[in-house]
Structure 1
C-alpha cells in the first residue's frame, strides 16, 4: 500500500508542468470530497478498504486500474479546465485588438473628418472671398462699361461738334479768302488813291509855294496874281487859243482893258511890254 501511494505521488509529480492553478482558482474548492467506493479487485478485500477510510485519491491510486485510469482522468480534467480560459484570452485579445483598431480607425476618421471640415471651411471661406471678389469685379466691370458708354457718347458729341466747327472753319476760311481778295482790291484802290493824294498834296504844296513866293512855271510871268505866257511870235487868235489850250491855260482877252505893261523875261532880264 505504501508503494502504491508513493507511485501515485510520483505520477502526480511527473504530470504536466506548473500550469495547474492555485486552489483558490479551482472550481471544485467548495465541493466536499466524500469516500468513493472502489471497484472490487480480484486480489483485495473490499471490506478492509471501506473500514480503513482511505481518501479518494489514495483509494483511486490503490486499485490496479487506478494507476492507469485515475491519474489520466485528473490530468484530463485539469486540461479541460484550462482550455476555456485560453479561448477566452484569445477572444479577449482579439476583441482588444479590434477595440484598438476601432479606436485607431476612429481617431484616424476623426482626424480625417476634422481635416475635411477644416478644408471645407477653408474652401467655403475661399469661395466666399472669391465670390466677393467676383462681385466686386462685376461691379467694377459694370462701372467701366457705363463709363465707356458715357465716353463713347461724349466722343460722338465732341466729334459732331468738331464736324460743325470744321464746317464753320471752312466757311470762315472761304469768307476770309473772299475778304482778303476784297482787301487786296481795297489796298490797290488805297494805293491808287494814296498816289492821287500824294500827287494832290504835291500839287497843293507847289501851289502853296507858288502863292507864298509869287512864282509861276518856267517861261510864265506873274502879273496881278496871274501867270501869263507871252508868245514871242505873232499868231492868229485861233492859233493862240489852241496854243493856250495845249498849255492848259486860257487865252487872255483884253476886251475893255486898257493897254497894260507886263514884264517880259528875256535871258534873265525883265523888260516891260505893252499888251494891247
Structure 2
C-alpha cells in the first residue's frame, strides 16, 4: 500500500525595517493557503532576566507568597511528622500499658478466684465447725445433765453411806459393848468356875 506524503510550502516573512510603515496584509504572490502576516513594529519586550517595573511588585509578592507557602508547607509537614510520631509513640505506650493492665487484671482475676475458693472452703469449714459446735453443745448439755444426775446420785449415796457409817459405828460400839460384856461374862464365868473348883 502506497503512502502519500503531503508537502507544505512554508514561507517566513521578515520584518520590514523600522523606518518603513507596516503594510496591510496582502495576499502572497503564489496564492499560498498560508497567510503570511506582516510583522510590524515589535513591542519592546524586556530582556530575559529583567521584569518591567510595574510587574516587579506583583512578582515579588508572588515570590514572597510562594516562599511563605513553602515555609508553611514545610512547617506543617514537620508538625504533621511530629504529631504522627507522637501519636505512634502514644499508641505504642497505650498498647504496652493495655498489655500490662490486661496482665494485671488477669492476675487479679486469678487471685480473686483463688480467694473465692479459699472463702468457700473457709465457709464450708466454718459451717462444719458450727455444726460440730452445735453437736458438741448438745452433747455437753446432755453430759451436764448426766453429771447433775450422777452428782445427785452421789449425794444420795454419800448420805446413805453416812447413815450406814453411823449405823456401822453404832453397831461397832454395840459389838464392842457386847464384846466387853462377853469378855466380862467370860471372866465372871471363869472366876465362878475357879471358885467351884
Give the TM-score taking structure 1 as reference length: 0.47
The correspondence of residues 180-259 of structure 1 with structure 2, limited to 5 A, is: 180-210=165-195, 214=197
**Residue of structure 1 aligned with 2:47, choices 37, 43, 61:** 61
Q: Aligned in 2, Cα 1:167/1:80: closer, same or farther, shift over 3 Å?
A: closer
Residue 117 of structure 1 corresponds to 102
Range with bigger deviation, 122-131 or 193-202: 122-131
* Structure 1 gap ranges (5+): 1-40, 42-46, 51-57, 215-276
Distance in structure 2 (CA, Å) of the matches to 1:151 and 1:176? 35
How big is the shift at 1:185? 2.8
Residue 106 of structure 1 corresponds to 91
Confirm or deny that 1:158 pairs with 2:174: no
Aligned length: 159
Distance in structure 2 (CA, Å) of the matches to 1:66 and 1:49? 21
How big is the shift at 1:105? 2.1
Secondary structure of the structure 2 residue equivalent to 1:61: coil
Distance in structure 2 (CA, Å) of the matches to 1:80 and 1:188? 149
Structure having the larger proportion of residues in strand:
1
Q: Aligned in 2, Cα 1:77/1:199: closer, same or farther, shift over 3 Å?
A: closer
CA contact (8 A) 1:60 1:70 kept: no
Residue 30 of structure 1 corresponds to none
* Structure 2 gap ranges (5+): 1-17, 19-38
Distance in structure 2 (CA, Å) of the matches to 1:185 and 1:103? 116
How big is the shift at 1:109? 1.8
Residue 26 of structure 1 corresponds to none
Range with bigger deviation, 81-90 or 200-209: 81-90
Residue 29 of structure 2 corresponds to none
CA RMSD of aligned residues (A): 3.5
Distance in structure 2 (CA, Å) of the matches to 1:184 and 1:202? 26
How big is the shift at 1:120? 1.5
Distance in structure 2 (CA, Å) of the matches to 1:70 and 1:98? 41
Distance in structure 1 (CA, Å) of the matches to 2:132 and 2:62? 102
Residue 222 of structure 1 corresponds to none
**Residue of structure 2 aligned with 1:175, choices 147, 154, 160:** 160
Q: Aligned in 2, Cα 1:186/1:66: closer, same or farther, shift over 3 Å?
A: closer
The correspondence of residues 131-146 of structure 1 with structure 2, limited to 5 A, is: 131-146=116-131
Distance in structure 1 (CA, Å) of the matches to 2:143 and 2:153? 15
